[in-house]
Amino acid sequence: MVAVLLAFFIAPVFTNFPGGSVGGVEWLAENHVRISVEGQANHERRNRQANWYYFRIDGYPLKELRIELSDLVGEYNGRLGTHAVDESTHPVYSYDGITWTHFSQVEWDAKQLRLSFRFTPERSPFWIAHTPPYTEKEFGVLETTVEANPMLRRESVGKTVEGREIPLWTITDPAAPPSGKKTVWLMFRQHAWESGSSWVCDGAVRALLAEGDEAAALRRMVTWKIFPMADPDGVAHGGVRFNRSGYDLNRNWDAIDTTKEPEIAAEHLAVKQWLDGGNRIDAFLTVHNTETSEYLEGPASCRPLVERLHKILEKETSFNPTRRKWQDAASTTSPGKKGGMTVDQGLSAEFGICAMLMEQMVARNAKLGGFPTVVQRQQFGGQLVKAMAKAFE
Ligand SMILES: [Zn+2]
């Protein structure tokens, strides 16, 4: 027997850019690559979630490639065996890192729990990700666009585990008297994989700083306090849902620790100082992504406002609730155990403010006619701030 050494061309897979992430790469044939998803677990090595991948392939010929995503199984809120990626979550590709297109067809292997899809690239290199990425690069583009606007004030409320600044942006018309103004706090991107949250933020900021009467009214009526990037470390590293110390930044609002979760501590202090300074908070909203569900929830104590906002969003925007109506939030995600409070649960309990949480799906949204695009997320950001202002009328 003569040993035959089968050699074939292997195109390199890169993740050396903001938000880049894969677990491992295995070429099974020259037109078939298996990519394991890195996933991220918390400080107790629990709750592994594996739904962020973002990579570039260089030098692959312009012919069909089969890409298979593996190692997708993890745990959610202590429930083992969960997986966020399946046939309802179609990856996106791009040739320039700016314009992203969803793959129209995928195959889900329910036994092996692997997602695969076929791609015939028209150019090289190309990028592939779970959802259209939004990293410090895209955030930098937004900052450059709006930084000179006199209606915007930017500050940092503290530093992350790795020393990155935690931004807080204030948008309002300084000439309009504060006495008649409402105050709305918005928070985006507590979880690194949820780039859709950031695209909504991007659109909201652009809408609030736009020219024209409608935007001017939004700035006269409301002081907008915005945390645009609540987990900058996670976003830079291509993380999933825990900070660099392994803590979920949308839990632990009842177990704040300046060392383990400096991000929560800094955001919490900013809210507290605002209130201690004699200011009001009429509404707070944190915006998240899930794979297939979309909803708004808030505390029972401000049910009329939550219900009104839900109605406006349902009627006038692309918000497409998968629950039949708005819902009272639970007081924690882990009854009897500290560390389970989300930001809205924590702020409602501690300060009695109307703090809400919104989830938006990354799967097909019938109201949008397909998978949410970057432009549709940005448009929703504008719709969201208008709806919030309207809910106060
Ligand atoms: Zn989230």
**Could you give the dihedral angle defined by the CA atoms of residues 312, 317, 321 and 325, in that order, rounded to the nearest 10 degrees?**
10
Strands 222-227 and 182-188: parallel
The two tokens of residue 228 are: 């645009």
CB burial readout 164-175, b (16+ within 10 A) else e: bebbbbebbbee
Residue ranges near ligand 1 (ion) with Cβ within 5 Å: 191, 288
Q: 194 alpha carbon to ligand 1 midpoint, in Å?
A: 6
Tens digits of residue pLDDT in 108-117: 999 999 999 9
Tens digits of residue pLDDT in 279-304: 999 999 999 999 999 999 999 999 99
Q: What is the pLDDT of residue 5?
A: 56
Tens digits of residue pLDDT in 310-321: 999 999 999 999
| Separation of CA 364 from chain center | 17
Q: What is the pLDDT of residue 1?
A: 47
Tens digits of residue pLDDT in 141-182: 999 999 999 999 999 999 999 999 999 999 999 999 988 899
Q: 251 alpha carbon to ligand 1 midpoint, in Å?
A: 10
Q: 287 alpha carbon to ligand 1 midpoint, in Å?
A: 7
Q: 77 alpha carbon to ligand 1 midpoint, in Å?
A: 12
Cα-based angle 61, 85, 242 (whole degrees, multiple of 5): 105
Q: What class has domain 136-391?
A: alpha beta
Nearest to 119 by CA among 60, 171, 75: 60
- C-alpha span between 24 and 49 (Å, rounded): 16
Q: 27 alpha carbon to ligand 1 midpoint, in Å?
A: 33
Q: 296 alpha carbon to ligand 1 midpoint, in Å?
A: 13
Tens digits of residue pLDDT in 112-138: 999 999 999 999 999 999 999 999 999
At the second CATH level, the architecture of 13-129 is: Sandwich (2.60)
Q: 290 alpha carbon to ligand 1 midpoint, in Å?
A: 7
Tell me the β-bridge partners of 361. Answer: 290
Confidence of residue 6 (pLDDT cuts 50, 70, 90): low
- Residue 203 CB partners (closer than 8 Å, separation 6+): 377, 378, 379, 380, 381, 382
Confidence of residue 77 (pLDDT cuts 50, 70, 90): confident
Q: 4 alpha carbon to ligand 1 midpoint, in Å?
A: 50
Tens digits of residue pLDDT in 185-226: 999 999 999 999 999 999 999 999 999 999 999 999 999 999
Does pLDDT of 35 surpass 50? yes
Q: 133 alpha carbon to ligand 1 midpoint, in Å?
A: 15
Domains of the chain: which residue ranges? 13-129, 136-391
Q: What is the mean pLDDT of the chain?
A: 95
Nearest to 325 by CA among 342, 312, 311, 315: 311
